[in-house]
Structure 1
Amino acid sequence: MGAIWKKQVTAEALNARNNNTLASHLKMVVEEIGDDYVVVSMPVNETTHQPMGLLHGGASVALAETVGSIASNIAVDDQHFCVGMEINANHIKAMRQGTVLATAKPLHLGKASHVWEIRIVNAQGDLVCISRLTMAVRKI
């Protein structure tokens, strides 16, 4: 399958668009845009920890929703936008420090909804969290 994107964007433009949002406060960075996936990184540090010094599950979910939302919104034309409807996550491996990478790939790209699988891994490629995000497609 060829590229699924309907909008021409760069990682730099997407990162600039995220200024002064939750993504920027958690230091999320768009790292890569492939033909059918988007990768966003996030540090694991005091900003994303829970009180026991581990990566907060909510930070992982915020990362998953961010990368899936970015992907969904560039997979629609300029007459549409996408918003989150439902997200779930299974937290698999704990982390105390480092960086996680979240990769969003489509499971379904319909006219009214998109479903994305988001895999969050550590630097060694170990699965930290697996998530599924459903996005509503709306007309502007």
Structure 2
Amino acid sequence: MNLDKEKILANIRERCKNTLMETLEIEYTEIGEDYLIAKMPVTSKVHQPDGVLHGGAMVALAESVGSAASYLFLNTEDFFIRGIEISANHLKSIKEGWVFAKATFIHKGRTTQLWEIKITDSEKNLISICKLTTIALPKSK
């Protein structure tokens, strides 16, 4: 990873202090030309009562990485980004280890954006697939 990408990742990690992302221990790990990857540990903190990763925690991870990707890849000097819809299909359960979320554009419009977020485990098994719609709203001058 080149220095610019490391600076971008460091900046986005800094912005997550005292937020849900810090609470869930979500860490942004890789940025590419059209994607962002984050990871989250699977511990009892994000389990549902029967000891597997809670679907809501996966959705929080998906929305976090998709929204952060919108922030990175869109003009946030003139616009602010908000998530307006998310859907998730949970395909496999996991009890421990790490999950990795990769957000990639499906549609990059001026006003709305559609992201696909695939959540996998350490062995690259697909755990969940999500779609997130974000909107770019003009900032007041």
2:89 maps to a residue whose letter is N
Task: State the 1:138 CA deviation.
Answer: 0.7
1:98 maps to a residue whose letter is G
Q: Which residue of 2 aligns with 1:16?
A: 14
**Whole-Å Cα distance in 2 between the matches of residues 105 and 9 of structure 1?**
20
2:109 maps to 1:110: yes
Task: State the 1:81 CA deviation.
Answer: 1.6
**Whole-Å Cα distance in 1 between the matches of residues 31 and 109 of structure 2?**
20
- 1:74-103 CA-partner distances (Å, limit 9, x unpaired): 121111121000000000010000000000
Deviation larger for 73-82 or 123-132: 73-82
Q: Which residue of 2 aligns with 1:34?
A: 32
Task: State the 1:9 CA deviation.
Answer: 5.6
Q: Which residue of 2 aligns with 1:44?
A: 42
SS across alignment from 1:35: coil
Q: TM-score of the superposition, structure 2-length normalised?
A: 0.92
Aligned length: 133
**Whole-Å Cα distance in 2 between the matches of residues 90 and 122 of structure 1?**
15
Over the aligned positions, Cα root-mean-square deviation in angstroms equals 1.1
Match of residue 75, structure 1, among 69, 73, 76:
73
Structure 2 spans left out of the alignment, 5+ residues: 1-5
- 1:92-135 CA-partner distances (Å, limit 9, x unpaired): 01000000000000001111100000000000000000000000
User: Identical aligned pairs, as a percentage?
Assistant: 41
Q: Which residue of 2 aligns with 1:130?
A: 129
1:56 maps to a residue whose letter is H
Q: TM-score of the superposition, structure 1-length normalised?
A: 0.92
Q: Which residue of 2 aligns with 1:98?
A: 97
The structure with the largest helix share of the pair is: 2
Structure 1 spans left out of the alignment, 5+ residues: 1-7
Instruction: Point out 4+ residue stretches in structure 1 off by more than 2 angstroms.
Output: none
2:26 maps to a residue whose letter is M
